[in-house]
Structure formats: structure tokens, C-alpha cells
A and B are shown apart, each in its own frame.
Chain A
Amino acid sequence: MALASSERPGPGAERRPPATSPTAPASAAPQSRAKRSGAPGSFMAWLAQSWMLLAFFVFFFLFWEYAVKLFHIPQYILNPPSEIVANGWADIRRLVSYFCITGLEAVIGYVVAIVVAVPLGLAIAFSSILRRTIYPFFVSLEMTPKIAFAPLFISWLGFGLLPKIIIVFLVCFFPIVLNAILAFSSLSEELTRFCRSTGAGWFQVFLKVRLPAALPQCFVGFKYAALNATVGATIAEFIGSDQGLGFYIQITTGNMRPDLAFAGIFFLTFLGLLMFGAVTLAERFCIPWHISVRRKS
């Protein structure tokens, strides 16, 4: 008879007390959210956490600066960072316009790859015919370095933007499609059974369970592809182009101007950071609940 009341106080070993009173559960959410995202004043917290990294960067560039002078390295081999910045600044208009061109190639190729690869991955995950035909074909193509096709596309399509976009697309497409296939075909057996027992239609299950469950694995592909995108654009420009950062680096290196080549490399790095950062931000926005996002924040 007194079962409920006699055993209730016992299980404290398992049950944590609620952080807020049960009558005001709504106040718990904003608190924990404020902790997660950066409130004002979080810059100081970030500084406290990252000062060692900053110190390392400062040390790295100071070492570079003085090592070049100390060992009398000729300026057609390597320049100190101060000269790279000064000479790069003098050529900033060209650098910025080339940055935009390479960025355009990388972003368009990347976005098109996502738009094509995700639905295709979904189709392959759910079609037994596609899984037996296209899927093994894609897996075997994984062994081929996609960048090896770059000279062919340049020779087929010439010097314009299109061959570069296609090459970026190629290097981004495969990681996205393979991760999407994995993402859409790995719903747990329990959740699959649970959904079937509700009698819900395919689309309802897709929208409410399959799609959100697939997002984390999809983002693995998106992030990997974001790193590939700038590599693809740069190499495509190396092979044949008359503009863009890849072209710039090749030309300046040929002209014995490593300072300007380095300036181009810094801009490429910045482009890579920008793309990866954007994808990471999108990930935080789309799957804030996922462990890979929670651990970082």
C-alpha cells in the first residue's frame, strides 16, 4: 500500500535534483543557453583560454622575421613576414579581386556539390538498385584522386570559371555523397521499429526522424568537402587560368617574388578558414544537440 511513498525517497543515487524548481522550468533553458553561446565579456574568457596559442603565433612570426635576417636568406628564396605584409599591401587590389574569383569558384562548386550530392545520397540509401550500381561505382572512384581529372577539364572547357567550378565540384562531391549515404542508412533498428509501430507515412518519418538523425553525419562530409574546395580551386588555377589566387601564386613564384606568393597563400588560408568557419557555424545552428557541437562549446 505504501509502496509509492516508502520507496520514493530512496533512489537519490540515480536521480539528480532539478537545477530549477519544478514550477519554473522555463528559467532553466535561457541560463544554460547563455552559458553555451558567447555572452559579452566572453572575449576575456576566450583570451584566458587561448593565450598560449596566441603567444605561439607571435613567437612563430618573430622567429621567421629574425631567422631570415640572421641567416642572410636571399629575398628571392624567402622574405620576412614584415616584407610580405608591406609588399602584399602594395598589391592589395589584385589580391582582393583574385581572392573574390577563387572564392567564387570554391563556393559555387561547393554549394552545387551539396545540392547534388545530398539528394543523390538519400536516393542511394533508399534504393536497392542504386545501392548495387552507383554506390559501388562511387566507392571505386574514391580510390581515384579526383584532382587528376583537372588537366582534362581545362583542356575540354578552356580557361574560364566553369572548369574550375567543375573541379571544385568533383573534389567536394565524393565526401558529401558517401557521408550522406552513410547518414541516411544508419538509423538505429529501435528507432526504425518505433516509427513503423506508429503507422506514420514515409515523409513524416523522414521529416521528423530520419533527416535530423542524418544531419550530424552529413556535416562530417560538408566539413571535409569545405577543406577540399580551396585545394580544388587552387590546383585548377595552377593548371590553366589567367586570374585567381592559384594563378597569382604561380606567376609570382615564377617571377622570383616569394613575398607575393606568400601573400597569396595567406589569402587562400583566409578563404579556407572562412568556408570552414561558415560550415561550422551552420553546424552549430542545425545540430546544437549533437555531441560534436556540445563538446566544443
Chain B
Amino acid sequence: MGIAVDIKSVTKVFGSGPAALQAFGPADLAIEAGEFVSLLGPSGCGKSTLMLMIAGLLDRSAGDIEVNGEHVSAPRTDIGIMFQDNTLVPWRDVQGNIALQLELRGIDPDSRAGRIRELLRSVQLEGFEHRFPHELSGGMQQRAAFCQAMVHDPQTVLLDEPLGKLDAMTRESIRTDLQALWLQRRPTVVFVTHSIEEAVQLSSRICVITPRPGRIDRVIDIDLPWPRDMAVKRSAAFTNYVRDIQEIFHGFGVI
């Protein structure tokens, strides 16, 4: 498999002159196609900044990023993107919100009706197609937002703390669905999080990012079987990964 996202000496500086703030980098990272890579670090370390730079939604100050072999110089339209605050609009129901992604891309939503149904089924939102966002719990809204981010079958999916505002139980349940979604089609996923356990459960690789200015401290391969169910999470190997990463952040003075 080829390299899906290639990050070369990327740096982000906000402001200029003596007030300039080094927000991120320099960092190098190559993400293989079909990988699930987590950017794991404390708040304010610049992991979301890196994600926005990959999406072409934020200019980098130095370095280069290639997505699917193409130099990123404008917003990438071949990606799916999702944020902590979801992009569901209140005037459309669940189905309409998913269709919005397609309509903005000039695709007839009717031609993808089967795919929309399939996505809704895999996040357990069948029967909720005609509910409006305000009629859904926070967790269900994020499930719908996953469908919205993936309905155009992007090769690359960027997720910026999509479970950040949910309670612990809901997070657990949605992680399972997210993993199932990823295993279905195997897009390349860049997942921003500050939850160690979440990163270990979902990722094939974890990028540990230092506190500000964020740099990639190390990249850890997570060698656990898929899907990572309760049995895997109870295993000693899983616990060891979590503990090792906790040690790293303890070393940073973060926890």
C-alpha cells in the first residue's frame, strides 16, 4: 500500500516577530493508506492544527504535506472531516444532513440512498432518518455526523476529537461503531484525541505529541488483533500499551 499522507518538516507559527508563537512542529510523519493513526497529546499541543493543515484548511508556516501523492495547497475535497462540535445543521433531519455532504459536492443523494442506509445501519441510527438533530442525544448526533463525514466514501478521514464532548459510556459505545465503520472500507483515518485508551483501542499507530510546541515524540505501533472488543481491552497487552503511554505523558509532566 502507498503512502496516503506524507508530512515533511511541517511547522506552524501563529503571529510574527517577537510575538510569534510556535504552535506545532517541525514534524515528519508518513501515514500508509488504510491506516488508523491517532494524534495523541495534551490540549493545546497543536494536534488539531496539524489535522487542519493536512485538510488544507490552514496554511502551514514551513514544510510540505502531500495527500494521496498531491501537494496540499488548497482545501482537500477528497477527504471526510469531522469536529468535536459536529456540523449537523438544525434545519435538516438526519438523512438531510447526510445528503448535505453529497449535495454540496454536486452528487444526487438519491443515487447514494443505499449507501446512506448502510451507514445509518452501521451506526445504529436506522429509524432515526427523519429525526432532527435537536431530537437526538449528543451521542446519536455524533453517530449521524460520522455518516455525514463518510457518505462520499473519502479515502482519507480526518476526525478532530469527535467523541470529546460525550460521556464515558457513550464514548465506549461509539468507539465500537467507529471501529466497525473503519473495518468495513478501510479508509485512512487521522484521529485526534487526548484519551490514551481510546487511541490504543482504535489505532494501528499512535503518534505521541509533546506539550506545546507540539512535536512528534514517538510513533507507537499498536499490535493488537481486530476488532478490539472487550476481550482485547481486558488483555495484558492492551493494558501494557496504555500504561506505557501514561508513563510517557508522566515524563512530559502532563499527568
* Chain A interface residues (CB < 8 Å from chain B): 1-4, 6-8, 10-11, 13-16, 18, 20-23, 25-26, 28-29, 188, 190-191, 193-200, 204-205, 208-209, 212-213, 287, 289-291, 294
Contacts and interface: CB of A to CB of B under 8 A. Distances in A.
Contact of A193 (B81, B91, B173): B81
Closest 9 pairs between A and B when the two form their complex, measured CB to CB: A22-B127, A3-B229, A11-B173, A199-B77, A200-B104, A198-B104, A194-B87, A18-B127, A14-B170
Contacts, number: 118
Interface in B64-123: 75-77, 79, 81, 83, 85-87, 89-91, 100-101, 103-106
Contacts of B180: 3-4
B59 interface: no
Interface string B144-185: 000000000000000000000001011011001001100000
Contact of A15 (B52, B83, B90, B139): B139
A294 B91 CA distance: 12
Contacts of A204: 103-104
B83 to A, nearest CB: 4
B170 A13 contact: yes
Contact of B130 (A1, A28, A196, A208): A28
A20 B135 CA distance: 14
B188 to A, nearest CB: 15
| Chain B interface mostly | loop
Given A10-B173, A22-B127, A3 B227 contact: yes
Nearest to A23: B127
Nearest to B175: A7
A29 to B, nearest CB: 6
B128 interface: yes
23 contacts: A1-B229, A3-B180, A7-B229, A11-B170, A13-B170, A14-B169, A15-B139, A25-B127, A25-B129, A190-B86, A191-B89, A193-B75, A193-B81, A194-B83, A196-B57, A196-B75, A197-B55, A198-B101, A198-B104, A199-B105, A200-B105, A287-B91, A294-B134
Interface residues of B, number: 45
Contact of B87 (A26, A190, A212, A291): A190
Contacts of A8: 124
B239 to A, nearest CB: 18
Best-surrounded residue of A8, A11, A198, A208 (most CB of chain B within 10 A) = A198
Interface of B: 52, 55, 57, 75-77, 79, 81, 83, 85-87, 89-91, 100-101, 103-106, 124, 126-130, 132, 134, 137-140, 167, 169-170, 172-173, 176, 179-180, 227-230
B104 A195 contact: yes
Contacts of B87: 188, 190-191, 194
Contacts of B89: 191, 209, 212-213
Given A196-B75, A197-B55, A200-B106, 6 more contacts: A2-B229, A14-B169, A14-B173, A15-B139, A25-B129, A209-B100
